Structure 1
Amino acid sequence: MSEAKAIFAGGCFWCMVHPFDQQPGIHSVISGYTDGHVVNPTYEQVCSGETGHTEAVEITYDPSIISYEALVEIYWQQTDPTDAFGQFQDRGDSYRPVIFYQNEEERLIAEKSKQTLQDSGRFNEPIVTEIKPVAPFYVAEDYHQDFYKKDPLRYKASSGPREKFVKDTWHAE
């Protein structure tokens, strides 16, 4: 069994776990923080906006079953790639959308996918999701892990605007 990791930031990490967790070849989806200047930040520190971190998910997957390219495509369909200042009801720097790459191949896949999405005409605004080199990833507190399973009612309430956007944008055809 081969194993690789991918890190994506797309707003609230609670809402980013479920779409990946349901895919074949995914071993784990961990909620955490990345791209900031504070080591081992807490949720409260990240929410303060003073750590530079964004909420993200670290996906461990089997590349012989699901490709990095497929993960990037799933990612696009979970976010509003035209909103650099948060996602849906979650606003601020800690909710910014970012695809983190670990090598040149991943960078090229992400950049090509972003350009394809821009050229598709699906969105009237520019695609502003950042594509950046991977930064240290810090695992979030236990109560954030698998939140959609632990507190389905609260998860449903928090994911509503995202789910409507995804349905209207990707499944309306």
Structure 2
Amino acid sequence: MKRLIVLILVMFFSFINYAQAEQSPAKATFAGGCFWCMESAFDKLPGVLETLSGYTGGRNKDPSYEQVSGGWTGHYEALQITYDPEKISYRQLLQVFWHNIDPTDDEGQFCDKGPQYRSAIFYHHDEQKRLALESKNNLQNSQKFPEPIKTAIKAAGPFYLAEPYHQNYYRKNPLSYQFYRYTCGRDRRLNELWGESNDIR
């Protein structure tokens, strides 16, 4: 009887924690190399309310792009997403994240190399951590890639906004953005990894 009561209490508090974690709006933070490209992938999703390019995971408070791009602050180029969990789930956001990165590269992403361009999932609460670990394990166990999955999973910390000219860069500068994306080989590599029919990038 005591065991049943304990089980019911655990389930009840787990439900309460999940409900609190998924209050609307919710936040998700991902690093996938150049944040311009990550913005364009998530902005078009129904239920995504806002995307912000910035820096997280490092030591320096309020770093500049020049400091982060130098590779010595410990920060990642990252994207913080505000979303409505009643319209899009964190699990769906994870799926889009994975299909927009090379999870086997621990030196950066595509043509951008250095610690600031590595991929990572920054979880905001325990349920996001659980789902992130689950998705990473599922991808590894799928044997889709012969190499191990290198994407880090870390607790979210302070997120510092990138300079205004970085926000929505792909919209404000479409030609230079497309030129950069093409010459960086991002789509070519994503096609190799996930297939040309991928419609979530």
The verdict on a shared fold, with TM-score over 0.5 as the criterion, is yes
- Counterpart of 1:18 in structure 2 is 40
| Aligned-partner Cα distance in 1 for 2:42–2:129 | 20
Give the CA RMSD over aligned residues: 1.3
User: How far did residue 102 of structure 1 move?
Assistant: 1.0
- Please tell me whether residue 3 in structure 1 is matched to residue 25 in structure 2: yes
In structure 2, the partner of 1:143 is: 165
TM-score when normalising by structure 1: 0.96
Name the SS for the 1:64 alignment partner.
Answer: coil
CA deviation map 1:109-140 (0-9, x unaligned): 00110011111121110001000000110000
2:154 is aligned, of 132, 148, 151, to 132
Which stretches in structure 1 are left out of the alignment for 5+ residues? none
Q: Conserved in 1, the CA contact under 8 Å of 2:102 and 2:193?
A: no
Q: How does 1:63-142 map to 2 (within 5 A)?
A: 63-142=85-164
> 1:169, CA displacement in angstroms?
2.2
Q: CA separation in 1, counterparts of 2:133 and 2:125?
A: 12
Three-state SS of the structure 2 residue aligned to 1:24 is: coil
| Counterpart in the other structure of 1:49 | 71
Q: Using the alignment, how far apart are the partners of 1:119 and 1:7 within structure 2?
A: 24
Q: Which has the larger radius of gyration?
A: 2
How many aligned residue pairs are there?
173
Provide the C-alpha distance between the structure 2 equivalents of 1:170 and 1:77, rounded to a whole number of angstroms: 7
The structure that is helix-richer by fraction is: 2
**Alpha-carbon distance, 1:172 to partner:** 4.1
What TM-score comes out, normalization by structure 2 length? 0.83
Paired residue for 1:33?
55
CA drift of 1:171 comes to 2.7
> C-alpha offsets along residues 66-110 of structure 1, whole Å, 9 cap, x if unaligned?
001110110000000000110000000110100000111111100
Structure 2 distance, partners of 1:52, 1:164, is: 28
1:52: how far off?
Answer: 0.9
CA-to-aligned-CA distance 1:128-159 (integer Å, 9 cap, x gap): 10000001100000000001101111111222
Cα displacement (A) at 1:24: 0.1
